[in-house]
Chains A and B, each alone.
Chain A
Amino acid sequence: MNAVTLESRLARNEDLVSGRIDDEFIMMSIETGKYYQLNLTASRIWELLDTPQTAGELCDSLRSGFKVSPEVCQKEVLDFVSRLVAREIVQVV
C-alpha cells in the first residue's frame, strides 16, 4: 500500500453505511457485516469525505477552530488517515 500524502485524494469506502446512534457514530460494512464505532476525529473525517478531497484539504478543514500549527496538524492527520485507509474505512482514489 502506498503511503498517504497531502496530495492523496481520499474518498469514503462505499461498502460502508453509517449513522449516529445516541451520541455515537456507528458504521457497518455491507460486505462483511462487521461494524464499529468511530471516535470524534474519525467521524468528522468521515463527514468531511462526503465529498472526496485531498488529505491536505482535510487538514485545512480540521485545523480550523484548533490552535495547532499546519505541520503538526498534517502529521497527525496523515497518520490518522493512514490508519483509516489500512482499515478500509477510507480509500485513496
Chain B
Amino acid sequence: MANVVDMNACENGQHPYHYLVYGLRIASPFPCPELMPSTDGPVDLVVTEGNTPHHLEDATASGFKFEANREHVLIKTLRIADILISHGTQAIVQRKNGASDEEVRFLLLGWGLGAALHQRNILPLHASAVSLGNEAVAFCAPSGTGKSSTAALFVKQGYRLLDDNIAALGRVDSTYMVFPGSPTLKLPGDVVQKPGFAFNVGQCGQPVFSKYVVEVRKDFSAQPQPLRKIYVLTRREKPPFQLALLSGQAKFDALVKNIFVLRILRGIDNLAGLFYSLRTLASEVAVAEIPLPVAPASYEGLVGAIERDLAVRKVREELP
C-alpha cells in the first residue's frame, strides 16, 4: 500500500535534516526552519517525500480531510499535500502542484505530527504552553480564541515558550511533562500590527494561512517541563480573568474538547486508552476556565491573573 521506508536511509544522507519536536527526533529530507535542530539520539519519525495511497484499506474512521485505521492516518487535502502517517514512525508526504514549502510544513508539523503523537500514545492538547521557570502551564482553546496571543503575552513578560499550538503531554516518572515543540509564534495580523507589539514585524515574512510566523528561539524552553495547570480560554460574557476551577464531568469535557485532532484518534481505535489517560490527567492536574474580554478590549491583565493564581510572581522576578 505505501512505500517501504528504509530506516537506514537516515544514515546515508537521504534525510539530512534532524530535529527535536514534542519529544520526537525526526529526520526530514527538507529543512524545517521552525524546528529545533537535533543531532543526538535515535530517530523516532522519518519523513519522506513520495506517493501516498488514494484511500486507506480498512479505514475505521474518516471525515474532513482524513482517513484512519489502527496503523495509519491518511491526511488528504486538495491543494497542499497528502500525508500518510504510519505507526508514529513514518510520514510520507505527497505534495500537490503549486503548494509552497511553508504550507506543506504547516500541514506536516500540525495535523501530521498530531496524528503521530496519537499513534505513539502521547496526548496532544490543542493548547499553547509556556514555562514559568521550572513548570509549565497550558492554555487550551479552539482556533482563533487566543492561544498563540496568550503565549506571546507571556513571552513578552519574560517567560519561555514551549509551543503555541500543541501541548504534547507524556508521563515521565508519574509526572505529566510538556514536551517542547516549535520556537515560533503564529500570530494573526491584528496582533502583529498592534502598536507596541514586542516582536520585530520585519522578521515575520509573509503570512502562512493568515498567520505571521515569529521566531522566538531566545525565549524558548528546550527542556520538557512538568505540567502545573491547564487553563481553558473562553470568550463568554463573564468578568474577564475571573478563574473558575473545573471538576468532574466539566473538567473531563473541557479536556476532551481540547484534544488535538481528536477525530483521528477514533480511527486509531484507542478510545479506552484515551479515557484512562484523561482520567489520570484530570486527577493529577488542575483545570480552570478563564474568560477573556470580548475584543477589542485588551487582555494584558491575563498574565497577572495567572501569576496570582499560581503565586509565581516571585519566581518570575528571579529569572535571569
Contacts and interface: CB of A to CB of B under 8 A. Distances in A.
Given A21-B282, A35-B256, A28 B249 contact: no
> Interface SS of chain B: helix, strand, loop or mixed?
helix
Given A33-B266, A33-B271, A24 B279 contact: no
A23 B275 contact: no
A72 interface: no
Contacts of A21: 247-249, 251-252, 279, 282-283
A86 interface: no
Interface string A18-36: 0111111010111101011
Nearest to B263: A33
B275 A19 contact: yes
Given A24-B249, A28-B275, 14 more contacts: A17-B276, A20-B279, A21-B248, A21-B251, A21-B279, A22-B282, A23-B248, A26-B248, A26-B252, A30-B271, A31-B271, A33-B271, A37-B248, A37-B249
Contacts of A31: 271
B319 interface: no
A28 B282 CA distance: 15
10 closest residue pairs by CB, A with B? A24-B248, A22-B247, A37-B249, A30-B271, A19-B279, A22-B248, A17-B275, A21-B282, A30-B272, A28-B275
B252 A23 contact: no
Interface string A33-48: 1011100000000000
A19 B248 contact: no
A19 B196 CA distance: 49
Most buried by B among A21, A23, A30, A37: A21
B248 A30 contact: no
Contacts of B256: 35
A21 B284 CA distance: 10
Nearest to A36: B249
A86 B251 CA distance: 27
Contacts of A22: 247-248, 251, 282
A43 B279 CA distance: 16
Nearest to B250: A24
A33 B253 CA distance: 12
A67 B247 CA distance: 32
B66 to A, nearest CB: 15
A30 B269 CA distance: 8
B14 to A, nearest CB: 39
Interface string B221-256: 000000000000000000000000001110111001
A20 B248 CA distance: 8
